[in-house]
Amino acid sequence: MKRVAIYPGSFDPITNGHLNVIERAARLFDTVIVAIARNLEKTPLFPIADRQKITAAAIAHLLNVRVICFTGLLVDFARHKKACALIRGLRAVSDFEFEFQMALMNRRMAPDIETLFLMPKDTCAYLSSHMIKEIARLGGDVGKFVPPVASRALARKFRKNKKRNQE
């Protein structure tokens, strides 16, 4: 039986920290599904279709990883995909409390699906999509923090916004 894991998130955009977690999960599971969530509480920079394209391009070298968008409860999506595990990234101790509460709630709803916490390598531990978007918005180089496809997408997005603001 194939072991499927789900790595959920907004991936707005995917960072090198996300990519590191995905690559490590891909070594542990037969299939990893990067599940891009439609979160109504967040206002993303990129539409969900763009986030899916950017993420798919960033993980194209990983043959056992695919990208799917979803709405609704993560555990329902995981059951539908016959996943045995949810992957969650932990950058710092400050992430732990929220992630721990979410893992306990998911376990209560789906006791057969495990939650595994993976920490990105130390050179990526400080990365957040929020910080990266702010750097890009202010004209900084984000090439060290995101895959090239995400860096290009951010440059295009903020170039368009800059032109609109100048008009």
pLDDT at residue 123 in the model: 79
106-113 LR contacts (CB < 8 Å, sep 24+)? 106/74, 106/75, 109/73, 109/75, 110/75, 110/78, 110/79, 112/84, 113/75, 113/78, 113/79, 113/83, 113/84, 113/85, 113/86
Q: Give the active site residues.
A: 18, 42, 91, 129
Average pLDDT over residues 115-137: 87
pLDDT at residue 63 in the model: 97
Residue 117: pLDDT above 80? yes
CATH number for the domain whose boundaries are 4-125: 3.40.50.620
Q: What are phi and psi of 142, to 5 degrees?
A: -105, 10
pLDDT at residue 42 in the model: 78
CA distances 154 to 15, 81, 91, 98, 136, Å, are 12, 31, 22, 28, 7
pTM, rounded to two decimals: 0.90
Rg (CA), the chain: 16
pLDDT at residue 47 in the model: 95
More confident residue, 143 or 127: 143
pLDDT class of 165 with cuts at 50, 70, 90: low
